[in-house]
């Protein structure tokens, strides 16, 4: 898709980071916005930022947890009624995960990450596809991660959810190949967002989470204009894609351990043993 003027664009996780950058970008392109986030205050901030810069932009906001299928279905009905049937859906909402070794992770924490990151994408897709399929052109954009291309220590829950998005999205690409709906899988590198917070993450953020969300979104929208099914951009994205494609797994494991061991607490291993 190239022309978004007057089109209805749905964005989940629009309260900050990449989701907020998407809202600003599509408002600039003349779209009507339907925005979601679980954090009502951050969602209100995004609304105010968009409205201040683009006062003529039509905006509908709804705060709820994307893991709730019924709430997502209700959102889709309200969007169609109040803004118009969706032309673009960006399933962006996600959480960081437990950020612990798997054996130190509570089962409920693992399931929560899957529920938000993966089931949230499934819920958004199921709720809005009936609207997208009726358009002359439409786009479904599922935000995975470079951690959906390579398993990273201390991130088994997050990686599992992002790998699942990848498989789900690639299956849809084939299923909807002969339809007006363009399907995109997006694999951002380390974006400078608030997905992790706290003093214990400062070194991690400084090293890995450096790509401005607005720059990432610009690349994604350009990729959509070129109809690139898979879009990857951001800190470490090229290195990870090359490593996955070229390196033997044993070597890759050793390199990952060397790179990430500073963020792994040896006491966690001792407790497990």
Distance CA 94, CA 91 (A): 9
In the annotation, is 158 catalytic? yes
How many residues does this entry show for the chain? 273
The Cα–Cα gap between 169 and 142 comes to 7
Find the radius of gyration of the CA atoms of the chain: 19
Q: Two tokens at 248?
A: 């033997």
191 CB-contact burial (10 Å; exposed 0-12 / middle 13-18 / buried 19+): buried
| 3-state percent helix, strand, coil for the chain, nearest multiple of 5 | 55, 15, 30
Is there a contact between 61 and 35 (Cβ–Cβ < 8 Å)? yes
Q: How many CB atoms are closer than 10 A to CB 205? A: 17
CB 35 within 8 A of CB 11: yes
- Catalytic residue (one of 54, 103, 147, 158): 158
* DSSP-based three-state secondary structure for 108: helix
Closest by alpha carbon to 156, among 112, 105, 119? 105
In this structure, are strands 59-63 and 32-37 parallel, antiparallel, or unpaired? parallel
| Contact predicate 207/235, CB 8 Å | no
Tokens in use for 21?
A: 């950058």
Which residues are tagged catalytic?
158
């Amino acid at each position: 898709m190239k022309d978004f003027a007057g089109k209805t664009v749905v964005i989940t996780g629009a309260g900050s980071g990449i989701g907020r950058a998407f809202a600003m970008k599509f408002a600039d392109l003349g779209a009507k916005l339907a925005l979601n986030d679980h954090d009502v205050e951050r969602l209100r901030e995004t609304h105010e930022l968009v409205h201040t810069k683009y006062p003529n932009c039509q905006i509908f906001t709804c705060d709820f947890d994307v893991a709730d299928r019924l709430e997502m279905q209700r959102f889709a009905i309200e969007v169609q009624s109040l803004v118009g049937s969706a032309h673009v859906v960006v399933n962006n909402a996600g959480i960081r995960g437990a950020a612990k070794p798997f054996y130190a992770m509570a089962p409920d924490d693992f399931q929560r990450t899957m529920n938000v990151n993966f089931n949230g994408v499934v819920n958004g897709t199921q709720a809005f596809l009936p609207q997208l399929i009726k358009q002359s052109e439409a786009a479904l954009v599922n935000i995975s991660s470079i951690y959906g291309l390579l398993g990273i220590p201390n991130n088994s829950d997050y990686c599992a959810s992002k790998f699942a998005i990848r498989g789900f999205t690639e299956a849809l690409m084939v299923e909807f190949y002969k339809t007006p709906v363009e399907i995109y899988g997006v694999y951002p590198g380390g974006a400078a967002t608030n997905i992790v917070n706290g003093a214990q993450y400062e070194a991690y953020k400084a090293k890995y989470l450096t790509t401005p969300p607005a720059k990432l979104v610009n690349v994604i929208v350009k990729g959509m204009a070129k109809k690139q099914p898979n879009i990857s951009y951001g800190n470490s994205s090229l290195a990870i894609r090359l490593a996955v494609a070229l390196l033997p797994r044993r070597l890759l494991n050793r390199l990952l351990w060397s790179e990430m061991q500073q963020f792994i607490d040896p006491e966690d291993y001792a407790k497990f043993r």
